Chains A and B, each alone.
Chain A
């Protein structure tokens, strides 16, 4: 089209621009078709925030308000983005809260033994991978429904940790402020705004990008999606379906271990066995608000990220916006249901 002769320029230009317009539309259309669920999750976050901000603009436009938010949200981000892999593969993991607790214990045990924080952190990741391998092997090779198996394992692991801990907490005040500790959970102020950025929020962002690349562009992530879409097809095409499924639980174990090690450091190096318990429903809610459907095969990492922000914002934000405390559950449920309806518009399951 670009080398049209001057004489024919006008009609050709008209056609060219029409073609360009159509291309443009289809480009945006395709972008929405492809990312509708993540966009819905983002809109849900913006909407929830806007409702709060309208109710109390002074509070919600003040950067300092978000210090606590940025401090607490990373745990949910780590867990939710990794759960995407589990749900997309067609499995369910209800055991991650116990792994969070157990991993935090392992981490603190090592720190008390004066292992440097970073080394203890790496060992803890290995522990998470190992325990994930165990859970995955039981589910996949034992051919047990992952819902039931991980529900049982969650109690089992939590119980085991409780037995070992005998109700004790572990603390290591000396390790607070060491290099590794500061690298993992230290804070810095953003341009004199009063907004304190915690390093674990930065790590959570990096983790999200890592998950995104792994999910969308790595062989492992693509195979997770294919196994969840149609495991028999995947098997017939030579994909080792069992190995992918176990891999998903290993990944979830690693994320839970990161969360466990971060949580104890957020609590100034104090561990108690049930530290992961609160995250079970929060992380699952974040996942579904984030637009990953329950049926497997497809999901969105960035959607999960926005979902994590949303479910963290609701309880604290509701209070800040002047809703009485007992509104929280109601708002929570309302947001979940409304986002589910919105996601429904982005398409039902394709068969």
Chain B
């Protein structure tokens, strides 16, 4: 048996799903958080039944990929829990009436009941139940109120016998029968809500929010590295590794793989290239602190409800890139990791938009792991280093968007987004979300980092990097002005960008070479995880187009940078 959660976007389906199944999924305060279905199980009538969390949809006529995913799930459901928004019954009933016509057993959760109360919205639940002929249960998913009753009344779920002719007339009648709204005063939050979408106040607010986010991420990331992770590795781990090194005899195959090379008799965590040295230092000490810092700030932005407002403010600008304002959301998620960023392009309506968004993200939006490593590499040069790298990437992002918008047939649709109220982020939810994303990084990324470090050793030992270096010399050295050994980093970049950036450290590059190499590594190709996700999302043909753009662009940008940057 399969139970499906259906409802408009941002009504709390995913929170209810977690309550029912215990399976953690990402929840945020903006429409379009869930873009893929997730399955879990719960006990029902003494047996395990499947529960499915789907993306939100306003009706059964999908307008985006995410909505298509939701609508496609209806067919296979045996029972539907329609999660309705108690603060906006009228809008929710649109989908409810659609679902009633499907004729499957139905039960309605009137979620956000707490907010409805605050807003002065009163719903006569008994009467609504009688009218529709299916159980209706008020719930507050975030505190868990009503969830028990929802579960205990699943038995009563039944196909509704309610019939109607004119949908909107019917909805109007139902609402006027069961709902009463009493007026109340505007809260401070609501005034702030208005200020953040008015252009005169909104744009300064957006700049302040983005600047603060950036400063906080750097402050927290660097703080964690400098105060905790670096000392841990230097004072605790390094001596241990030196002992192990002595035990292994200071050289040999196993020593090379586990410890790597000693530099002046010492372990250099960024250079030694052993599994236990660089292989652990890169993910845990160099990258993890930044991942944590980024997701802390992102989660706060997501849960407060600021992102859809930012989308409104940047809409006009994003139209120049062939996207509308919501296109900023995959970009922000992509800054954490390009994989969720690629998936989130599903909130966009057309194939054209998804192609543009995925392509400019894969090329010009580096993930946090890569950003952290670049910060470690050129951060000491200040704006001359970091500013040039990220400034170049930003110009590519904008330029490529404008170009694709010009040459691709068709036009991009206008923004169409529901703006949720501001909500204070719940610390428990935020903590859980950070933990899920950090865990994902540990599970999905760390093995690849280790594999990357291992492969570096194999490639060097077999002399493959040296051969590839000679083959690629005309481009890498001739056009980009980089030493042949950079090819090693480019090879490993297919696997993990952070390890690849790390491989630049021992090469003793000049600042201009570091800048060129960092930019090239960001744009030339996505890492394998992003590539496979993109290939699935775009289809093979579009993926190949995207790859052709990447390669052409790499040659042009690398050559230009080599010409323009001062020697």
| A complexed with B | no
Using CB atoms and an 8 Å cutoff, list the residues of chain A in contact with chain B: none
Using CB atoms and an 8 Å cutoff, list the residues of chain B in contact with chain A: none
